């Protein structure tokens, strides 16, 4: 079957019949009976999808759900529509194509289906260069030992639906966190901070995620360790083991573990207690939040606001600055007139 639609080409009210990867499938109970929520994707992006089936025939929904294997490619025969400002796919009659199971992925071209805006090769080189740039040998040895042991770090996603949720997302997010950490420390006057331990902490803060995902089909599935232990506790184990392997202990190891343990900031336990730990927490938040806002804004048109499902609050897209003429305001008419901006909630 030749691919005619890509995620990027699908528009509101399109009737779509094409091949896409299914991931994050979950079965739910709705007013009309059971339905499936999932994400469909190809190399150009991803989209939310609901599989309703026909007139609450729950057994057909269950059969389809049982036939879904995360990361595999299915024939998606449905209707695209905008819901809460976001384009999504709805499948009714096409449910039987899902129930027939996945297309043999060895017959497919991975380049058509693997979604990853990240440049894995370059990100890996940049991260290894940052690790090599850590001045104190003990910290550098720990970080380099971890990267030599966990190659998966450079390919797994950073999450399953929030920020950097694509192949290579963890490395890309980590790279940003190191850059923000360095910028915060450089930009802050009158505060003494240990750059080496902050950079090592930024590089290691999410390292536990390297063991939380497994490649499956054209995507990554979440392993039980992720929902049973989260990613901080496996990260602590990884750093401790690497430190033991290279024979490093003492204050540097203690501070590095404190940064990994507390990088969720106010929401963690314990909370950060050093300048370096707070810096990594803020850098982590900045990287995650900016990607979530950008992703929520992606489908809006200039001058449009809506409820952002990732930031769980309103987001707004201003027109491009190039559309301003001779200093005239580029504010949308809605705001100039004092009326409410259009929100999809
Ligand atoms: Fe984290
Ligand atoms: Fe993070």
DSSP 286-298: HHHHHHHHHHHHT
**Whether 155 and 280 share a structural domain:** yes
Which CATH number fits the domain that encloses residue 108? Answer: 2.40.50.140
> Counting ligands in written order, which one lies closest to the CA of residue 164?
2
**Residue 5 located in a structural domain:** no
Residues 237/250, Cβ–Cβ less than 8 Å:
no
Token pair 């590095």 is found at: 256
> Counting ligands in written order, which one lies closest to the CA of residue 263?
1
Nearest of 329, 326, 328, 331 to residue 302 by alpha carbon: 331
Which CATH number fits the domain that encloses residue 254? Answer: 1.10.3210
Residues 22/70, Cβ–Cβ less than 8 Å:
yes
> Counting ligands in written order, which one lies closest to the CA of residue 174?
2
Q: How far is the CA of 306 from the centre of ligand 2 (A)?
A: 26
Q: How far is the CA of 187 from the centre of ligand 1 (A)?
A: 24
pLDDT in tens, the chain (345 residues): 568 899 999 999 999 999 999 988 999 998 888 999 999 999 998 899 999 988 767 889 999 999 999 899 999 999 999 887 778 999 999 999 999 999 998 889 888 999 888 999 999 999 999 999 999 999 999 999 999 999 999 999 998 777 898 899 999 999 999 999 999 999 999 999 999 999 999 999 999 999 999 999 998 988 999 999 999 999 999 999 999 999 999 999 999 999 999 999 999 999 999 999 999 999 999 999 999 999 889 878 889 888 888 899 999 999 988 755 555 544 555 455 443 333 332
Coarse DSSP helix, strand, coil percentages of the chain, rounded to the nearest 5 percent = 45, 20, 35
pLDDT at position 343 is: 34
Q: How many CB atoms lie within 10 A of CB 334?
A: 14
pLDDT at position 1 is: 57
Rounded to two decimals, the pTM is 0.83
> Counting ligands in written order, which one lies closest to the CA of residue 287?
2
pLDDT at position 337 is: 45
Domain boundary among 113, 145, 171: 113
> Counting ligands in written order, which one lies closest to the CA of residue 208?
1
**Residue 272 located in a structural domain:** yes
Q: How far is the CA of 109 from the centre of ligand 2 (A)?
A: 31
**Whether 138 and 224 share a structural domain:** yes
**Whether 192 and 306 share a structural domain:** no
Whole-angstrom Cα distance, residue 243 to residue 47? 41
**Whether 97 and 152 share a structural domain:** no
pLDDT at position 324 is: 53
**Whether 276 and 133 share a structural domain:** yes
Q: How far is the CA of 107 from the centre of ligand 1 (A)?
A: 37
**Whether 288 and 310 share a structural domain:** no
**Residue 4 located in a structural domain:** no
> What is the DSSP track for 103-136?
B-GGGS-HHHH----S-HHHHHHHHHHHHHT-SS
Q: How far is the CA of 134 from the centre of ligand 2 (A)?
A: 20
> By residue range, what is the domain housing residue 241?
120-293
Nearest of 95, 8, 114 to residue 53 by alpha carbon: 95
Q: How many CB atoms lie within 10 A of CB 98?
A: 28
- Return all residues near 55 (Cβ < 8 A) that are at least 6 apart: 32
**Whether 125 and 84 share a structural domain:** no
pLDDT at position 95 is: 95
**Whether 67 and 44 share a structural domain:** yes
**Residue 9 located in a structural domain:** no
Provide the domain count of the chain: 3
The length of the chain, given as a count of residues: 345
**Whether 235 and 320 share a structural domain:** no
SS3 state of residue 249: coil
């Amino acid at each position: 079957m030749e691919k005619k639609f890509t995620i990027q080409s699908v528009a509101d009210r399109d009737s779509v019949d094409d091949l896409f990867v299914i991931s994050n499938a979950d079965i739910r109970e709705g007013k009309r009976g059971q339905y499936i929520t999932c994400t469909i994707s190809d190399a150009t992006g991803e989209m939310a999808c609901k599989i309703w089936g026909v007139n609450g025939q729950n057994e057909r929904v269950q059969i389809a759900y049982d036939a879904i294997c995360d990361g595999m490619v299915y024939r998606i025969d449905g209707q695209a529509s905008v819901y809460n400002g976001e384009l999504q796919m709805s499948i009714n009659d096409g449910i039987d194509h899902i129930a027939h199971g996945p297309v043999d992925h060895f017959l497919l071209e991975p380049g058509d289906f693997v979604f990853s805006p990240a440049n894995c090769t370059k990100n890996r080189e940049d991260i290894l260069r940052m690790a090599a740039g850590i001045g104190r040998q003990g910290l550098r040895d720990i970080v380099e030992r971890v990267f030599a042991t966990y190659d998966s770090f450079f390919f797994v996603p950073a999450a399953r639906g929030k920020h950097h949720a694509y192949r290579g997302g963890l490395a890309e997010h980590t790279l940003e966190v190191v850059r923000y950490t360095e910028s915060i420390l450089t930009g802050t006057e009158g505060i003494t901070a240990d750059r080496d331990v902050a950079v090592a902490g930024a590089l290691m803060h999410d390292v536990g995620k390297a063991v939380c995902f497994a490649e499956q089909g054209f995507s990554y599935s979440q392993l039980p360790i992720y929902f049973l232990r989260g990613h901080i506790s496996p990260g602590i184990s990884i750093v401790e083991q690497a430190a033991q392997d290279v024979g490093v202990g003492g204050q540097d190891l203690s501070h590095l573990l404190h940064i990994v343990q507390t990088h969720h900031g106010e929401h963690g336990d314990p909370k950060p207690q050093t300048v370096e730990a707070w810096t990594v927490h803020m850098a982590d938040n900045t990287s995650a939040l900016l990607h979530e806002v950008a992703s929520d804004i992606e489908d809006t048109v200039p001058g449009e606001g809506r409820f952002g499902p990732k930031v769980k609050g309103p987001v707004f897209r201003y027109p491009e600055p190039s559309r301003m003429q001779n200093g005239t305001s580029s504010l949308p008419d809605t705001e100039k007139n004092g009326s409410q901006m259009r929100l999809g909630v």
